[in-house]
Structure 1
Amino acid sequence: MRDEEAQWRGAGAGAPRALGAMAVCAAAGFALYLAFPPVGWWWTAVPALAVLVACVDRARMGRALLNTTAFGVAFWTPLIPWVVVSTRTPLAWVALVVSQVLFLSLWSLSVSLMRVWSWTRSPVGQALGCALAWTGVEQARSAFPWSGFPWGTVALPQVDSPLGRLAPYGGVALVSFAVMAVAVLV
């Protein structure tokens, strides 16, 4: 009986931890929003992404997706409120937030699946893998569907940052790659 009782009590022990991780990810998502205009605190992008990577890195796939969802909702919701004004319906805003969070979930899924490859277990390999997946997802959502939605690319607020100086050599893709790689290595 005691073993069953201990199992039952331990079954929900991860719930507060999971909610805490989701709250931390939501705060990180909002911190990434702060990197964009009108606030323009470009330096918040790297720590925000570092927190996201930390929350996704060791989590199981399901929990990683929940953490990414919390991050994405907290980032995209305040970033694109103009959609309500331009479409005159909040439904379009919600649909766009959901679609962008789904794209972000592709990154989380990619990172979770990459763990099986030995080259992603080193810090440099993890930085390359996470940055490649992030840049690939950003490029995909910038092109699909209906010519995409490039808004919210992490390179955009980096214009005044040192990483923004990489733009002439590889454009938005290289800057986004560098921002994520630095976030992983921090």
Structure 2
Amino acid sequence: MEILLKYFSDFTETQLQQFAALDELYRDWNSKINVISRKDIDSLYEKHVLHSLAIAAVIEFKPGTQIIDIGTGGGFPGIPLAIFFPEVKFHLVDSIAKKLKVVEGVAAGIGLKNVTTQHTRAEEIKNRKFDFAVSRAVAPLKELWQWSKPLIKKGNTQELANGLICLKGGDLTVEIFESNVRPYMVAVQNIFNEDFFKDKHLLHVTA
């Protein structure tokens, strides 16, 4: 929890309580349905929560913004972002139903009112549009963009144009080349100066 306060200082009392409650909730749920590796659960705030909040460090989503989290897994980056932006609507999607059970349990446990879930694949969603898609380490950029593009409203509703914002690690040279898109890229270690983030990147692809 302390590592969040190292980089963010303007949380409300409610947000502080919600972030603090994540540790016990995820430990409890993870003992029933494994969504976080055993070695990572002790680094929940750095490797999962803070990593997710790299997106919040790059863009201030306006109230009413609608965001889809593709392949949310245990709720990352969607849950931390939903705490950070209580006036923004997050739709967390995953193809594995039991992972969404964890997401729903955590969201209910901290009283999040701005999160909905859907058991589906992103490419099967029809007749819905969002301002942004977010994702963390789900699929190659080419596939992510194929899934995201039909779901994103074109336009520029805030300082970053509508599009896909994803968190990825490692050497992305080949992946970006094969995607046929030119993402804006930020090194996460430039945002959070921790060793864990040294090969992590945030990518933004405009719709």
Quickly name the TM-score band, shorter chain normalised: under 0.3
TM-score, structure 2 normalization: 0.24
> Which is helix-richer, 1 or 2?
1
TM-score, structure 1 normalization: 0.26
Return the structure number with greater relative CO, CA threshold 8 A, min gap 6. Answer: 1
Bigger Rg, which one: 1
